[in-house]
Structure formats: structure tokens, C-alpha cells
Amino acid sequence: MGKFTNEAKQLLEFVGGKENISAVTHCVTRMRFVLADPAKADTEKIEKLACVKGTFTQAGQFQVIIGNDVTDFYNDFTALSGTGAASKDEVKQAAKSNMSFIQRLMANIAEIFSPLIPALIVGGLVLGFRNVIGDVKMFEEGTKSLVEISQFWAGIHSFLWLIGEAIFHFLPVGIVWAITKKMGTTQILGIVLGITLVSPQLLNAYAVTGGGDIPFWDFGFATVDMIGYQGQVIPAILAGFTLVYLEKGLRKISPSSISMIIVPFFALIPAVLIAHTVLGPIGWTIGAWISTVVYSGLTSSFGWLFAGVFGFVYAPLVITGLHHMTNAIDLQLIAEFGGTSLWPMIALSNIAQGSAVLAMVFLQRKNEEAKQVNIPACISAYLGVTEPALFGVNLKYMFPFLCGMTGSAIAAIISVSSNAMANSIGVGGLPGILSMQTASMASFALAMGVAIVVPFVLTYIFGKRKLQG
């Protein structure tokens, strides 16, 4: 008999029995179910189980927060229920049957960018650290940076750009690879296609100007500009899906005896040609249009209104999964304007939801069961991961969620009104200040203060009434 046999037996009953489970797996802290009929799950009874920290539904999956013991719980659950172990990919695939078209579209976008997040976080931290040592004038009466007075730190500053460039300039390689990985096609072909978009043979995208000479390939009857797509998102996405559909189409019609030769050759070469002649210029234009519209909105006289709305609705977007769309917009803004005003607001939303949970920590400090959920959720949100805070605490009581949204909106207005911009994305929550451009750190720090104080005070005031009423 396992440690969680009794709780597992109860959970099996409350989710609707074995026949209601299409697939089940687990992640670091949660059991992840795909249920044949989600309505059969009795969430109230499930959340009363001693080992359960909360429940929520996302991306077609019914998720039960267990905590650090989730592996042991999962083993006891599968042994009891007889449900076979499923991979995360299998669960995701099964979950799509419970999703609308929009939800499936967002899930696909999320699956493209999710593998890139660790690299983007590293890149954000690297660029942030370079900002601090290279741009902040904190020595010799505020006239010199650390790099200017120390050869060692000057060397570190230069060396770290090796990593920053690899992540952000060569981002298309990662995007095309992620697409081929997700779609189940040949990943090395995706990597090669991505490299052709950022090859040193091409004019660097960051060097393209209206008055400069652009090299070109001359085919006699036509010429093609030799322009790279460093940091570009949409051209890489379009090129990646073109390669995928060419490869899949060729595999269907190619004899198996020669498919190893025919498919890679006739998939990769046309994909590269189409990418540079059609998709690259179109994607660049679309990306430039999107980034210009967003940038113009943020810097217009009504930018504060856009900021307030975005700051208020970002947390609900996380619940729906639509927030993944902002990754592409952020990256496009960085490529086009050298920075993004969206990411600071995202980091502030993380902080605001974490501060609402912090207030709940104080309000429920005598509740040992609540503390086990509240404290880890607060820490996680302050570090940029808000799902435990949202689903485990704030949505459960609702008023902390609304207080967090309010604080986020006010902080976003301050951030945009002061033209706070980030050099990179990936580093959210309190560490997000490291992603800020040097000139924006002070104003972002002020917005951070608002994102900490306002949700905490509002949640504490309303909590006093709600929890004691």
C-alpha cells in the first residue's frame, strides 16, 4: 500500500472514475488529466482532499495541484486506477479534443515558443547584467561604468555578448527547429533552414537601412536581395511551416526506397528559396506593421489607456492561454525598435498577482493548510510564474485576483507613461528589472513599487471583510 493510496482512490472517484480518464500524466507539481467529460469532475470534493493544493482547467487539461510529492502520488494513482502512463505530448494531443479552434491555435503557438523560453530567460539575464556593468554610471562620481574602470569586467561584458547574440540574433534557428519538432518532421532540416535565414553571407537585419546598399543574388532573369532575418519572428514561422508541409506532402507521394534522398532535397531547397523570395519579405512587412501599430499605440497620447487595459487584462489572458501571442509581438518589437514596452507590463502583472497572494499569506497566517499553498505561490509569482498564484489562490477567492489586476493596471500606466522599455523578454516578476534598458530602470522600479503595494493593500482591506464576514 502506497503513501497516497487512500487519497488516490478518492481522487479517482471524484474525477468520474477510470472510464472518465482519457489520459493522465504529471509535471513538477500537478496531476494533469484529459477527461472524457470534464463536467463529471467534482472540484469541490477534490479540493477538500488533504494532499490537494488546488485545481484548474487549462488547454483542455484538468490539473490538480499536489506539490512536491506529485511523483509518488502519480505512481500510487496509476497503480490503483490501472490507467497507463502517458507522455506529456500524448496528453496534450488528447486534450485538443476538449479545446475550441482558438484554444488549439493558442496551444500550438505556445508549443512553438515554450521550448525557447529557457534560452530567452538566459538571454534576458545576460543582457540585463551587461546593462548594469556597461551602462550604469556608478563610479567616479557617476561618470563611469564598471566596464570603463576595469579591464576584467570589460572582458566579461564583451564575452557575454557571445551568448546574447546567439540567443536573440539567431532566434529564427530556434523557432524553425521548434516548429519541426512540434509537427513531427525532420528537425535537422529545420535547423538548416533557420541557419539560412541568419547566415553571415546575408546582410544582417539590424544593418538594413533605407539608404544602404543591399547585396543580391543575380539569376539573370531576376535578382533576390540577400537580407538576413536576425531576430525576426514571423518570417521564421512562415518558413518553418512551409518546410513542414513540403516534407509531409513529399513523404506521402515518395516511394519509401528513395524517400531518404528525395524528401530532404525537395523539401529543403524549395523551402529556402520560397523563404528568401516570398515569405521573408512578406513576413518582415507583416511584422513591421504589427510592431509599428503596437509601438504607435503605446507611444501615442492614448498610450496610458492602452497600458491600463493591457495591465488589467493580462492575468485573464494567462488563464485562457492567449498570453502566448505577446511573445511574438515582444520579439518583433525588439527586432524593429531595439526594445519592447509590453514586457515590462507583463513583469508588473506577475508582481501584482504575487503581491495579492502575499496579502493572503498575512490574512491566512494561522491557517496551516492555506500557508502550504500561499507561500510557494507567492514566491513563484514574484519570480515570474503566476499559474500557482492564479489557480491555487487568487481565482479561488476572486477578490485577490481583481486586486492584482487593478494594481497591475496602475503600474502599467506608470511604466508606459515613463517610456519604460525592456531589452529582452523571458525574465519576469521582480528579476524583470534586469531586462530593462538602463534609462528605464528607475521608472520601472517605481512601477514595481506600485505593483507591490497597491494589490497588497487592496487585498488586505477586502480580505479583512471577506474572510471575516
Contact 182, 111 (CB under 8 A): yes
CA distance 85 to 267: 35
What does 230-246 look like in DSSP terms, one character per residue?
TT-SHHHHHHHHHHHHH
32: closest CA among 64, 6, 80, 9? 64
Of these residues, 27, 51, 378, 403, which one is catalytic? 27
CA distance 362 to 386: 19
* Nine-digit cell string for 59: 488547454
CA distance 395 to 267: 47
CA distance 379 to 429: 10
| DSSP code, position 138 | -
CA 48 to chain centre: 31
292: closest CA among 323, 335, 346? 335
For residue 27, indicate whether it is catalytic. Answer: yes
User: In a 10 Å sphere around its CB, with 0-12 CB exposed, 13-18 middle and 19+ buried, how is residue 118 labelled?
Assistant: exposed
189: closest CA among 267, 72, 117? 267
Residues with catalytic function? 27
